[in-house]
Chains A and B, each alone.
Chain A
């Protein structure tokens, strides 16, 4: 038997036991009020000193807030609480730093994009409209994006899913390690490289023309590792006990995977696939190389150039006229909405399919 050492804090001269268990506490409303005061002071100092950048005002306010809480808390509550408050305010500041750009991006896109976004814009293509003229729409780009992303998902989702099942359920030894390694490498492939790869094989060597399908192949290359990774994580979360329970009932391994493992993790797997779709929807570079972009509606993804939403945004921005700027913002808004809807659907499915624990 080893000697058990008592690691609890022992009262001594340096660390006396508190006389009372009660302690002075700042009231609950202190941090928000302090934040308001700091914001006001930041603006005041900024105005008085004649700083023109509002970022500087914000920084002053943030520093005042952090220092203010720390000092006030140290005076009233003591050192340990002050450190706690310091950490809390740092976390809040970090959170705000992350949220401010996101909110401003959304605001900007909605404000500028809603100018020309209407039914006409969604249901018409650019046709022969000159770029500097107002009017036109993104119907051809929506069709292109849906077809290219759909085809890419049809290729990448089954391959990714099966790869992940192999890695988690069957993979042992060298082959599995090699697959894992290459999936990791693929995760890091820049989208332009995937585009160039398909360009050289499909268009330059095999001699096919640009098409939505060529773009889909590059998008599938980008999507596959994401699907493999997320599915792998989800399958690993399925407790081994469930697999053993099924095997012990005399169920073959493949049926165990199909009927027990996959249903248990289907919510997470769907979320992963949806997020992978959202990721490739915004890819521009491979589409630029392989689909080329078009001004008219092309419903056939296997022949001739097509348009896609991110490429449309890029091309309209390049035109540089007032009207094309408006169209670029509106298309960007549609793209963001599309990705957001995908995310919401993914969350909905995850919640709906999650294993149910309640229901007593």
Chain B
């Protein structure tokens, strides 16, 4: 059920400002790809173009092609809502719906998209919470509000919510930046398990994290503030961290940036 992503010549704009310039890359199914790079280099923007969330921002606009297997996400007649059902997303800050219980949060994507039987929902919610390694912690309080959980639990709740709709690809925008090391470890373990089923793309500022969880790593950089971000290189994670082919990557990774 995981799909290959094939990006070619992709640029994204905020109004008149070009945020990323001419990016091409291939992301294989059932792999974890990490995006690293300095702040403002367009990693998150690029991530958001992969499920058409970029255009939700006022003035957001995209040029180029993103092929999911063989279908262009930006082709004519493509419904962005259908795209987002196929490509799920987890955000930087945990954002469970405050009016809903833990159960309803996980069921939200399904319920808001169609009608399911109560027993079906129960099974899917349990499966998703188990998939997010949260089931044992919350199984006795599924009817309590999701905002009562700790930050790390909330983030795993958001992951459960995202995988409940059975997407093909899971995008994660700095999913651990608001979490403590133990919750981070839990999420990283989870990513390792999830990659059996999903294609995962993760943005991170933490290079050790990229080295730990990802199969391939892409380094983004920008020439100067105000310039669009560019993909510098993408390669096997091991190579990027031991023997990158571009000097800028090595400078960034070894902390000699700027």
Measured CB to CB, the residues of A under 8 A from B are 172, 239, 241-252, 255-256, 259-260, 263-264, 355-360
Contact = CB atoms under 8 A, between A and B. Distances in A.
Interface in B63-94: 81-86, 88-89, 91, 93
A263 B145 CA distance: 14
B162 A249 contact: yes
- Output the residue of A239, A245, A355, A360 with the most chain B CB within 10 A: A245
Contacts of B88: 248-250
Q: Which 7 pairs of residues, A with B, have the shortest CB-CB distance? A: A250-B85, A355-B98, A249-B109, A248-B89, A359-B148, A241-B95, A250-B84
Given A245-B158, A248-B89, A249-B161, A360 B148 contact: yes
A247 B145 contact: no
A245 B97 contact: yes
16 contacts: A242-B97, A247-B53, A248-B51, A248-B53, A249-B109, A249-B113, A250-B85, A250-B88, A251-B81, A255-B112, A256-B112, A263-B99, A264-B98, A355-B147, A359-B148, A360-B148
* Chain B, interface residues (CB within 8 Å), range: 20 to 34
B181 to A, nearest CB: 22
Nearest to A252: B81
Contact of B99 (A239, A256, A264, A358): A264
B89 to A, nearest CB: 4
Contacts of A248: 51, 53, 84, 88-89, 91, 162
A110 to B, nearest CB: 40
A357 B145 contact: yes
Contacts, number: 92
A247 B85 CA distance: 9
A135 to B, nearest CB: 52
A149 B145 CA distance: 37
B145 A359 contact: yes
A154 to B, nearest CB: 26
A249 B85 CA distance: 6
Contacts of B148: 356-360
Interface in B40-59: 51, 53, 56, 58
Contact of A259 (B83, B112, B165): B112
A356 B145 contact: yes
B144 interface: yes
B23 interface: no
A244 B85 CA distance: 13
Contacts of B161: 245, 249
Given A242-B98, A250-B85, A172 B58 contact: yes
Given A355-B98, A358-B148, A244 B109 contact: no
Contacts of A357: 98, 145, 147-148
Interface of B: 51, 53, 56, 58, 81-86, 88-89, 91, 93, 95, 97-99, 108-109, 111-113, 144-145, 147-149, 158, 161-162, 165
Contacts of A356: 98-99, 145, 147-148
A260 B147 CA distance: 14
Contacts of A358: 145, 148
B58 A251 contact: no
Contacts of A264: 97-99
A359 B147 CA distance: 8
A245 B194 CA distance: 20
Most chain A CB atoms below 10 A, which of B82, B84, B93: B84
A164 B112 CA distance: 23
A245 B89 CA distance: 8
Contacts of B149: 360
B125 to A, nearest CB: 14
Contacts of B162: 248-249
A168 to B, nearest CB: 12
Contacts of A360: 144, 148-149
B112 A251 contact: yes
A205 B93 CA distance: 59
Contacts of B85: 249-250
B91 A244 contact: yes
Contact of B112 (A246, A355, A359): A246
Contacts of A241: 91, 93, 95
Given A241-B95, A242-B97, A249 B165 contact: yes
A260 B109 CA distance: 11
Contacts of A250: 81-86, 88, 109, 113, 165
Nearest to A259: B112
B154 to A, nearest CB: 11
B97 A260 contact: yes
Contacts of B86: 250
A249 B108 CA distance: 8
A251 B53 CA distance: 12
Nearest to A267: B99
Nearest to B98: A355
A259 B112 CA distance: 8
Nearest to A266: B99
Given A172-B58, A249-B108, A360-B148, 4 more contacts: A241-B95, A248-B91, A250-B85, A360-B149
